[in-house]
Structure 1
Amino acid sequence: MTRRFSASLLLAATLGGCVSPGPRVPKPVAAAVTPPAAWRTDLQPGGPVTADWWTGFGDPALTALVAQALANNVDIAIAAGRVEEARAAEALSRAQLSPQVGGSLPETQGQTLSPFGTPSRAIGTQPVITASYDLDLFGRLRLASRAARAQLLASEGARDTVRLATAASAASGYVVLRALDQRLQIARETLAARSDALRIARRRYEAGYSSRLEYRQSQAEYASTQQLVPAAHLAITRQENALSLLVGDVPGPIARGVPINRLRLPAIPDGLPASLLRQRPDIFQAEQTLVAADLSLDSQRAAFLPNIALTGSVGLVLSTALSNPVGVFSLGASGLAPIFDAGRLRAQENAATARRDQAAFAYRRTALSAFREVDDALAGVQRTGEQATALVEQVNASRGALENARNRYRAGYSSYIEQLDAQRSLLTAELSLVQAESDQLTSFVTLYQAMGGGWRPGTPLSPATDAVSRP
């Protein structure tokens, strides 16, 4: 597995490319974030990788488990709730840009005097419609609305990050479960073989063909293998319970599919460009958080400038004392500007600047972490594959050695210790092979997660087409 990436991604070549600097307070200096030199290649992307990357393992039970986790996971539901909260906040900020219209219908009662001095009771109403509109000459409200939009997109990125992590956890957890099943099967098969060896050792000891030492060694080896079975059962139960919680269900058994040694290794297309990392939901979230922080800073700076609002009202005066209704209206404008606030606005601006700087460095950290995770995953896929290949050869050699040691022992050419060593070597090699196969499959899961969970050429996973950006 070679690391074939294009160096087309400059996630944060200059963070000022995403957001424009404000006056007085400079942006934090950030060096270019470029892919490692080993990723550079001119190869074209290979076959497309679908977003349902877990189907590449060829196990319907795994596919169903991931689908159930994505549908019922509690963390995803919580993240979706946060998205709805951010959507409501964005709608509220947009509403500030529209005129505010209200109305009232007060009723009055009183007494009037006629020309003849006869008092009478008068009842009147005055329906009034009022309207107010903030001209927002300096863009304070518009900037706040765009910042709320960026926060909404950031919350969607956070939700997609949770979904990606849930799918990866379900897939890797299933792989671990199948590895534990394989370990249990190996323990049972080895225990059956040790049971036969113990029976033969007992018969040879009782017949006087072997010493008590060999019989005791056989007993100890049988007991050593026997304890592997309940340990494997315990690990399986805990893993099933963990997966049940992940899929939003009560503890219980998990449906199985194909054995771990029959799970397919998904194909990784050659020449994937490093720009695909921009589609990672956590990078998208960090980018939109930075955009929101910068827009909030600009909105806070606009608060230093005058604010002009228009107000007006129109209504009628209806009364039993009047023969005809009387129309009334008013129109006015108000301008507010800060004169002295004891440094309140300046302190709010400094706080917004600090939050913007934190978001900038958090964006850079997320980009660097993404490169590291992909590099670690690529190395894991390559090295665990090499390890599994070597362990297959070791298992085959250990089986041949055990067969030779068993034949020599039964023929009386060697002691029982040779057969015992061969049995231990085979058991260790088989368990190591299962672990290597599990690590290799888990490395593929980690790689897909590090690359954003799957993609199609030209189709971003996150809603980047609606992303808020700055010139």
Structure 2
Amino acid sequence: MKPRMNAWMLRIVPLAAAMLLTGCSVPSLSHAPDTAQAAVPERWSQLVDSGDDDVKAPAVQAQWWQAFGDVQLSRWVELALQRNNDVLTAMARVDEARANLDMAGSGAMPQVSLSAPGSANRSLSARTGQMVHVRSAQPVLQASWELDLWNRLGSLSQAAQQRLQASQADNDAVRLTVAATTAQAYIGLRSLQAQLAVAQFTVKSREDAVRLLGDQVRVGYISQLQLSQALAELESVRQSVQQLSLAQERQRIALMQLVGGVGDEQAQALMQRTLDGASSVMPRQLGTQVLDRIELPRMPAAGLPSALLERRPDIARARLQLAASDSNLAAQRAAFLPQVSLSANFGSLLINALDYNPARVWSLGGSILAPLFTGGRLQGQFDAASAQRDQAAYAYRGVVIKAFGDVETALVSTQQLQSQWQHARQRETVLTSTLGFAKDRYEAGYASYLEELDAQRNLFAAQQDVLRLRQSQLENAVALYQALGGGWQPGGEVNPDSKP
């Protein structure tokens, strides 16, 4: 019994001594700074009425863009999610994170390798004076395993797992951003088409008016001043047509880039169908019908502000990155403690005549590596990991603050834009009647053509305002869907101990 006790003491004493020597220098884990805490409001400052007390606001769906009821818009978004470069890059980052997880998990597993060193030499024998040829080979199977007594390797593996989940959430965040950007780009293109159609129709009507005024000037019915004013207004609208045409081309190129570039065949085919669909509408009606194809969806349910923390992929990504930094910090702390490794070698030794009767060789061993003095390297690594954890905590706080601001901005804009659009529509109606009155007064001889020209100018500006405000409403609806997370559902669990 006594020899066994002595053997046990021989094994445990080195480990105990190493722990005593290093234990006093192990730093303690700290929490994230209090200033990194994100304040969550109890309610939204702006509550939007859905328009029907009997109908609840709809929940945000994963394919939220279908709520706009436009087939072309859905096709553009779906093509962007397939071919956009940012989406493809995010998917590659997920693959990289998955490979890093495999590498981190392998550290806790036994490592087995095979080596087969060989040598040949020729030397002079001191005993016989003859040349001696010696050939040897020693195939060896080597195995090693680090005992993860302090969960250092486990913490590294957990950090890699959390980074994988963060990259998956980042992929979802990129997809949501690309979908929203594409939808807004499509809405912008449709709005420019509508504004251009109104401007072109206005040019046509003013060209007809200028021809009529020219005839009246020649017979002395009106003065040259009225014709000059009409020509100036005609050139002004022609300039607007050129500006809108340039803006439409730029918007077309921007939309093409979102789905693969101007050289992408699928994008070109979809753009051709989009432009053909717009040109099939009569110019007089194009200004309203193009945007009327895109429905303004009912306001989605915003829910409580606290629910937003679980509904946005960018918040989940920041939270998972914070959890990963906590796990990495725990691994850096474990590096101060002794590392215990076991090793074994099994092989054969073949030398010349022993080819057919090799000698068996083997070895078993273990080691305890206790860091005693590293010149501040370990402490520096721990401090760097702690600072990285604090950065992740502040990054999480920043994402949360931005998320609440995005929702509040979209909710406020919903009410304000609806009110502005209604006033613009009323102004357009009034100015349409005003133009009719001005025409009647001019044709009856009670007023000059300048009065009708002024009414035309005001109506044209009002029509463009109505279209731009409708565009702003649609784009704000897209922004609200994006701010609410776009129907995203978390796919992984987060370590509750890693919350800031």
Question: Which residue in the other structure is 1:18 paired with?
Answer: none
Q: State which of 280, 286, 290 in structure 1 corresponds to 2:318.
A: 286
Distance 1:288 1:341, change over 3 A: same
After superposing the two structures, state which structure 1 stretch, 78-87 or 400-409, moved more: 78-87
Shift, 1:75, TM fit: 1.6
Shift, 1:46, TM fit: 4.7
Q: State which of 167, 180, 186 in structure 1 corresponds to 2:192.
A: 180
Shift, 1:212, TM fit: 1.2
Question: Which residue in the other structure is 1:6 paired with?
Answer: none
Q: State which of 278, 291, 307 in structure 1 corresponds to 2:339.
A: 307
Tell me if structure 1 keeps the 8 A contact 2:59–2:301: no
Question: Which residue in the other structure is 2:115 paired with?
Answer: 104
Distance 1:282 1:189, change over 3 A: same
Q: Residue by residue, what CA displacement relative to the aligned partner does 1:195-227 show, whole Å, maximum 9, x if unpaired?
A: 222122222211211111111111111111111
Question: Which residue in the other structure is 2:6 paired with?
Answer: none
Consecutive unaligned residues in structure 2, runs of 5 or more: 1-26, 48-52, 278-288
Paired residues for 1:90-169 under 5 Å = 90-107=101-118, 124-169=136-181
Tell me if structure 1 keeps the 8 A contact 2:343–2:366: yes
The TM-score normalised by the length of structure 2 is 0.82
Shift, 1:86, TM fit: 1.9
Paired residues for 1:295-374 under 5 Å = 295-319=327-351, 321-322=353-354, 324-374=357-407
Find the aligned partners of 2:56 and 2:467 in 1 and give their Cα distance. Answer: 32
Question: Which residue in the other structure is 1:5 paired with?
Answer: none
Find the aligned partners of 1:193 and 1:120 in 2 and give their Cα distance. Answer: 111
SS of residue in 1 equivalent to 2:374: coil
Q: State which of 238, 244, 249 in structure 2 corresponds to 1:232.
A: 244
Shift, 1:40, TM fit: 9.9
Distance 1:118 1:180, change over 3 A: closer
Shift, 1:48, TM fit: 3.7
Shift, 1:36, TM fit: 5.0
Distance 1:222 1:317, change over 3 A: same
Paired residues for 1:415-426 under 5 Å = 415-426=448-459
Find the aligned partners of 1:448 and 1:36 in 2 and give their Cα distance. Answer: 21
Shift, 1:249, TM fit: 2.2
Q: Which amino acid aligns with 2:423?
A: A
Question: Which residue in the other structure is 2:75 paired with?
Answer: 64
Shift, 1:161, TM fit: 1.9
SS of residue in 2 equivalent to 1:321: helix
Consecutive unaligned residues in structure 1, runs of 5 or more: 1-21
Find the aligned partners of 1:73 and 1:207 in 2 and give their Cα distance. Answer: 63
Q: Residue by residue, what CA displacement relative to the aligned partner does 1:2-33 show, whole Å, maximum 9, x if unpaired?
A: xxxxxxxxxxxxxxxxxxxx826453004452
Find the aligned partners of 2:78 and 2:459 in 1 and give their Cα distance. Answer: 38
Q: Residue by residue, what CA displacement relative to the aligned partner does 1:356-407 show, whole Å, maximum 9, x if unpaired?
A: 1111111111101100001101112222122111211111111111011111
Find the aligned partners of 1:412 and 1:293 in 2 and give their Cα distance. Answer: 82
Tell me if structure 2 keeps the 8 A contact 1:69–1:166: yes
Tell me if structure 2 keeps the 8 A contact 1:45–1:269: no
Find the aligned partners of 1:184 and 1:118 in 2 and give their Cα distance. Answer: 103
| 1:241 to 2:268 alignment | no
Question: Which residue in the other structure is 2:92 paired with?
Answer: 81
Find the aligned partners of 1:143 and 1:271 in 2 and give their Cα distance. Answer: 37
Q: Which amino acid aligns with 2:320?
A: Q
Question: Which residue in the other structure is 1:8 paired with?
Answer: none
Distance 1:451 1:27, change over 3 A: same
Shift, 1:66, TM fit: 0.9
Question: Which residue in the other structure is 1:264 paired with?
Answer: 295
Tell me if structure 2 keeps the 8 A contact 1:240–1:254: no
The TM-score normalised by the length of structure 1 is 0.87
Tell me if structure 1 keeps the 8 A contact 2:318–2:395: yes
Shift, 1:156, TM fit: 2.1
SS of residue in 1 equivalent to 2:347: strand
**Larger helix proportion, structure 1 or 2?**
2
After superposing the two structures, state which structure 1 stretch, 334-343 or 148-157, moved more: 148-157
Tell me if structure 2 keeps the 8 A contact 1:45–1:271: no
After superposing the two structures, state which structure 1 stretch, 275-284 or 27-36, moved more: 27-36
Distance 1:209 1:300, change over 3 A: same
Question: Which residue in the other structure is 1:435 paired with?
Answer: 468
Q: Residue by residue, what CA displacement relative to the aligned partner does 1:203-261 show, whole Å, maximum 9, x if unpaired?
A: 22112111111111111111111111121111111110111111112266554257112
SS of residue in 1 equivalent to 2:34: coil
Find the aligned partners of 1:294 and 1:127 in 2 and give their Cα distance. Answer: 44
Find the aligned partners of 2:414 and 2:383 in 1 and give their Cα distance. Answer: 47
After superposing the two structures, state which structure 1 stretch, 402-411 or 375-384, moved more: 375-384
| 1:29 to 2:34 alignment | yes
SS of residue in 2 equivalent to 1:37: coil
Tell me if structure 1 keeps the 8 A contact 2:46–2:412: no
Shift, 1:283, TM fit: 0.6
Find the aligned partners of 1:32 and 1:162 in 2 and give their Cα distance. Answer: 23
Tell me if structure 2 keeps the 8 A contact 1:45–1:273: no
Tell me if structure 1 keeps the 8 A contact 2:60–2:481: no
Find the aligned partners of 2:44 and 2:496 in 1 and give their Cα distance. Answer: 31
Q: Residue by residue, what CA displacement relative to the aligned partner does 1:293-314 show, whole Å, maximum 9, x if unpaired?
A: 1111111111111001000111
Q: How many residues align?
A: 441
Runs of 4+ in 1 over 6 A off after TM superposition: 110-113, 116-122
Q: Which amino acid aligns with 1:87?
A: R
Compute the RMSD of aligned alpha carbons. Answer: 2.7
Question: Which residue in the other structure is 2:280 paired with?
Answer: none
SS of residue in 2 equivalent to 1:452: coil
Question: Which residue in the other structure is 2:19 paired with?
Answer: none
SS of residue in 1 equivalent to 2:497: coil
Q: Residue by residue, what CA displacement relative to the aligned partner does 1:74-112 show, whole Å, maximum 9, x if unpaired?
A: 122222222222222221111111110011223455799
